[in-house]
Amino acid sequence: MLIGRNDEIRRIEDLIGAARQAHGGALVVRGEPGIGKSALLDRVRQSAADFAVIEASGSQFESELPFAVLHQVLGHQDELPEPLRIAFGMATGTPEMFAIGLAALDVLGRLAQRQPVLCLIDDGQWLDDSSAKVLTFLARRIASEPIAMVFAARDGQDEPPSLDGLPGVTLGALPDADARALLRASMLDEQVRDRIVAEARGNPLALLELPKAGGFAMPDASSTASRIERSFQARLAGLPGDVRLLLTLASADPTGDPGLVWAAARQLGIDPSAGGAAEASELVEFGTRVRFCHPLARSAVYRAAEAGQRHIAHGALADATDALTDPDRRAWHRAQSGTGPDESVASELERSADRARSRGGVAAAAAFLERAAALSADSGKRLDRTFAAVEAKLDAGGAETAVNLLSTVELNPLDTRGQAKADLLRGKIAFTRHTDDSGPEFMMRAAKRLADVDPVWSRECFLDAVEMAMFVGRSSGILDTVLETARDTVRSEPGTVDLLDALTALASEGHKTAVPLLRQVFADERAVWTRRPALATMIAGELWDYDMHAAVVGWLMKTGRTSGSPMVLRLGLAQTAVSATLRGELPRAIDAIAEEEAIADAMGVPPMVYARIHLVAMRGRRKEAAELFGATSAVATALGIGQLAANVDWATAVVHNGLAEYPTAMEAARKATAAGDLYVAGISQPELIEAAVRCGENDIAAAELESLTERTQASGSPRGLGVASYARALVTGDEDDYRAAIDYLGTGTAAPALARAHLLYGEWLRRQNRRTDAREHLRAAHEQLSAIGMEAFASRAADELRATGEQARSRTSPTYDQLTMQEQHIARLVATGATSKEVAARLFLSPRTIDAHLRNIFRKLGISSRRQLRDLPDIS
């Protein structure tokens, strides 16, 4: 009987009721051990008698094995899709997280067509990372499905970060009145009852267990969980040795497979009658699954066993586990069955790590490698496995664990390569901490160690340092230091030029010398694009080279879609959006941003914000810009991301130049150019020149013009030359420069820059009292800027046009402005003829969810069919 919890019960009944109406959702129930989470899950079952119930539970022993819990949820369904079969080890292949998520959504969706589905996931704090990502992926995508998901997780204990984003409720202590009601059946006198109520502090399991442990215990400072565990351990006292050993076997096996437990018991000579005595203790029951009465009971039994007994139990479980069908769990039990080095076990764990990594189980690979290192008899193998474990820990997001593991390496003497490897890992650890800017310094230290023994690796380390330094931001001088050190430390092969040579030339000799070298390096796409694609996109931007940038983006998109790599595809989509924005193709930018955000949401990570910054800067909407830039600046400051801060400064300058608020624009542009970041500093210079001229700061404008001219003449791109021409015209007032800018920009695809050239020329003509000539260019500027969607600059052009005596033509708001970004993307995909299923696969949603979005789209647009959607010009 569940006492109290009325508010929580209402939350659950609302969830279940909504799921019945095909408005699915999820809820995470949190609380300390014994607070009643499992009892609340029982209440969920009662509220959902008409639902198909799927139950699973996280396990402390399997928290690092990939897809362990997801297998409990879906592994026994008939006709599993191939992605799930690969994830569960039933078929060969490389698991692709999004394909697995969509497959799981498809399976649940098919089940929900027959009757509503309820998924109950207990012990969520022990969800393995892969299962957690897929399950939360599902939880965020069942809003239009008759599916409810309820997770229970211990409060105060680390849980998968993905659960944080789901709706939750925290169970607190029971009030004294409810606590006494729970104890009434215990036949205790009032004084004892009051003492137990005081000691249990509203914890229901403690209220039920403490009387079984002798009435009550003396108050102490230990946690409630510890006291409850002791009450479970008290039941072990007096049990025969074989019964305790059977209980230890059951506690050491995370699968709950009675066949495995009894097979191991037979190997140890335990009589089957011991099962009855074990169940009589009320700690465990042996049925279709081996179940402990509470997770704390399992841990209590395991902790109570002596180390030797645990070793015996794990050894028997290893022997009983099939080496062909479950080699990883067998290896893990073998690793827990002894205390000394054992190379055969270490090798087996290393093979398990490889299998786990191939299935996307980075956390499992790290755990296997860490244990393999501990069991390695050979010092060289132990070092290699430790380094591999540190890298795996980092990949799994365990920076602090990686630090502790790496510290064990320092206890042994290292050769030059070992010292360099340790420095590289220290650099990566520092980089993951964001607020620690020592990453590039560690990378440089590794590079210098390797300069004589392995120059090729040394140069790669310097390039790693370059990328880290650019992320931190050049305002700190780190990048210049890296490139100077590289130039003085290690040389390339005679007669060859690589990316590091070109970058050091850029830093020391300028664009005129470096640009030909950069183009030479970029001619071989394998040298840069495939290994450092993010750096490649920034260099293309630094050269004002749209064609080069488009080529890199095209490679990213093709590679990302072909390989299924989420990071490559997200980078490609983000850069597609940036490219489209600078070309004035805002709908295409919106589509790319919406798709990248869908992938990020599927991964449970924040979206890439750079593309949205570019889009908002181009639109020029004051409120939207203030909200995004303010939030992004706070993140950049908190995490020490100089590159992100520089992007916000550039975008702020663009917005305020559009609004004709030049002092604000000049301040922001000065910060962006002073940071000196690749790409951002260059595109910020025209903003600074325009704002400085309007503020009467001609010396500042002239100095920036000299630098901008050097950059753009070296690149020779029409866009760069055109922008430099109108910037020069602002400084000098030479009409020929305005005309040259329009000529340069009219030959390419830089529509925003061309529209701004017309605007600046028209403004200059009006100030020369040449109103008729001014109208022609201001009219062109207003039409082009309005068509693009550059609202601030279009408004500025309209004001200038009115000042010449002509009224600007009003332009109705585009149809797609009524829709969210995701709705716009869905609408355009459907307008091209894509089915709901095809759109769902693209955005990692269910077809039912796409149909729900379409209903909203139709309502907002005042239409009722896909055909009408295709006929809307602003959509198609």
Question: How does pLDDT run across 143-155, given as a tens digit for each residue?
Answer: 889 999 999 998 8
Q: Is 817 helix (H, G, I), strand (E, B) or coil?
A: helix
pLDDT of residue 475: 47
| pLDDT at position 648 over 50 | yes
The residue type of 201 is R
CA separation for the pair 835, 855 (Å, rounded): 14
Angstrom distance (rounded) from CA 863 to CA 154: 48
pLDDT at residue 316, as a whole number = 94
Average pLDDT, integer, range 365-388: 89
d(Cα 510, Cα 715) in Å, to the nearest integer? 12
- What are 31's strand-pairing partners? 154
- Structure tokens given for 292: 């402990």
pLDDT value of position 779: 95
Task: Note whether 133 and 119 are within 8 A (CB).
Answer: no
Q: What would the two tokens of residue 250 be? A: 């059951």
Q: Which pLDDT band, with edges at 50, 70 and 90, does 647 fall under?
A: very high
776 has a pLDDT exceeding 80: yes
Summarised one tens digit per residue, pLDDT across range 347-368 is: 999 998 888 777 767 777 888 8
The mean pLDDT value for 688-697 works out to 96
Map residue 53 onto helix, strand or coil: strand
How far lies 94's CA from each of 18, 82, 87, 358, 395, in Å?
Answer: 37, 11, 8, 6, 17
Compute the distance between CA of residue 698 and CA of residue 791 in angstroms, rounded to an integer. Answer: 28
Residue type, 780: A
Q: Reply yes or no on whether the pLDDT at 217 is more than 50.
A: no
Q: What's the pTM?
A: 0.78
| Model pLDDT for residues 125-140, shown as the tens digit of each residue | 888 888 988 999 899 8
pLDDT reported for residue 216: 40
**What is the CA 563 to chain-centroid distance, rounded?**
19
What's the pLDDT score for residue 214? Answer: 43
**24-34, pLDDT tens digit by residue?**
999 999 988 87
Indicate the pLDDT class of residue 670, thresholds 50, 70 and 90. very high
**pLDDT band with cut points at 50, 70 and 90 for residue 655:** very high
Question: For residue 683, how many other CB atoms are within 10 A of its CB?
Answer: 23
As a whole number, mean pLDDT of residues 846-866 equals: 88
The most confident of 204-208, 292-296, 364-368, 541-545, by mean pLDDT: 541-545
Task: Place 584 in a pLDDT band, splitting at 50, 70 and 90.
Answer: very high
Task: Tell me the CB-side half-sphere exposure of residue 443, using CA atoms within 13 A.
Answer: 28
How large is the average pLDDT for residues 649-667? 97
What's the CA gap between 208 and 203, in Å, rounded?
Answer: 9
Confidence bin at 763 (pLDDT 50/70/90): very high
How many CB atoms lie under 10 A from the CB of residue 518?
26
- Flag the least confident range among 4-8, 203-207, 377-381: 203-207
pLDDT at residue number 709: 96
Q: How confident is the model at residue 526 (pLDDT cuts 50, 70, 90)?
A: low
The more confident residue out of 365 and 453 is: 453
CA–CA dist 684, 676 (Å, integer): 10
Torsion-angle region of 266 (φ positive above 0: left; ψ -120 to 50: alpha; else: beta): alpha
Please give the helix or strand (H or E) that residue 119 lies within, else none: strand 117-122
Q: What pLDDT is stored for residue 813 in this prediction?
A: 57
* pLDDT at position 579: 93
Look at residue 390 and tell me whether its pLDDT is greater than 60.
yes
Mean pLDDT of 254-274: 90
Per-residue pLDDT reduced to its tens digit, 590-636 = 999 999 998 888 777 789 999 999 999 999 999 999 999 999 999 88
Q: What is the mean pLDDT of the chain?
A: 86
Percentage of the chain modeled with pLDDT above 70: 91
Residue carrying structure tokens 């229901």: 204
pLDDT at 220 over 50: no
Give the count of alpha carbons within 13 A of 522, CB side only. Answer: 25
**Share above pLDDT 90 across residues of the chain, in percent, rounded to a whole number:** 40
Q: 175-179, 280-284, 597-601 — which is least confidently predicted?
A: 175-179
40 has a pLDDT exceeding 90:
no
Is 634 within 8 Å of 619 (Cβ atoms)?
Answer: no
Q: Across residues 379-407, what is the average pLDDT?
A: 85
What is the per-residue pLDDT for 211? 59
Tens-place pLDDT, residues 108-126 = 999 999 999 999 999 888 8
SS3 56: strand
Predicted pLDDT of residue 323? 85
- Which pairs with CB-CB distance under 8 Å and at least 24 residues apart come from 678-681? 678/470, 678/538, 678/539, 678/541, 678/542, 679/538, 679/539, 679/541, 679/542, 680/643, 680/646, 680/647, 680/650, 681/474, 681/646
Q: What is the pLDDT of residue 744?
A: 95
Whether 661 has a pLDDT exceeding 80, the answer reads yes
Strand order in the sheet with 52-57: 52-57, 117-122, 147-154, 25-31, 168-170
Scanning the structure block, which residue is given the tokens 């340092």? Answer: 465
DSSP state of 27: E
The answer to whether 625 and 616 have CB atoms below 8 angstroms apart is: yes
Rounded CA-CA distance 730/741 in Å is 11
